[in-house]
Homo-oligomer: A and B are copies of this chain.
Amino acid sequence: MRLVIALCSVDYAGRLSAHLPLATRLLLVKADGSVLVHSDSLSYKPLNWMSPPCTLTVLEPEPEQAALGVIELWKVSAAKTADLLVVSIHEILHDSSHNLGVDPGLQKDGVEAHLQKLLADQIQVLGDGYRLVRREYMTAIGPVDILATDEAGKSVAIEIKRRGDIDGVEQLTRYLELMNRDPLLAPVAGVFAAQEIKPQARTLAQDRGIRCVILDYDELRGLDDPHSRLF
């Protein structure tokens, strides 16, 4: 990643035309060749940018441009479209490069992970007397989202999905089959919990004796506020 603070003007032509007058801005060149132009305010979105795949070529300015003070010309071309970003640099105030390596995943914890934590914390929404055994209960074929016990102390395996599809029911069925072979656990009941359950999935689940539960995300978050979740 290359960081350049420069006095520059920027032109973009693609689906629209845009021009940025001369000012000091941050030019961010990423490892994949993409370029972002940021000002010192208005977060989130760059003033101008070029998405990968694209190529950055640094050109010598034409004499007439040089006469206007341009010392370097960046031409960023999109690989697949005719989109073109041109940065006319008048002065470079900072220039540094950094090796960041590959990001382990821009994986934001999705709703599913959050639902799992919320349900684990409030397992009683499944019924009085329900108690959490543990999250991510490991089996030979992978972790079950939540293992709990019901009011009679019987084991309950819970599969959580954001959208309850047939795949999820199949997955839970495999876990149940395996766990019910373990005399220390059996009999194990199944709960398929999701924000939304497709009719086909519901039918299949009920046919296999699996209970379906709709999770209300907002309600589960309820009392819980962001600060208490982080600290």
A residues neighboring B (CB under 8 Å): 1, 3, 5, 11-26, 28, 30-32, 34-36, 38-52, 82-84, 86, 93-94, 96, 98-111, 113-114, 225-227, 229-230
Contacts and interface: CB of A to CB of B under 8 A. Distances in A.
Contact of A94 (B44, B45, B96): B96
A44 B46 CA distance: 7
A86 B230 contact: yes
Contacts of A227: 13, 82, 84
Contact of A43 (B16, B36, B108): B36
Given A18-B107, A227-B82, A1 B26 contact: yes
For this chain, the copies found in one complex come to 2
A110 B51 CA distance: 18
A230 B88 CA distance: 12
Given A3-B3, A3-B26, A227-B13, A100 B40 contact: yes
Contacts of A32: 40-43
A47 B103 contact: yes
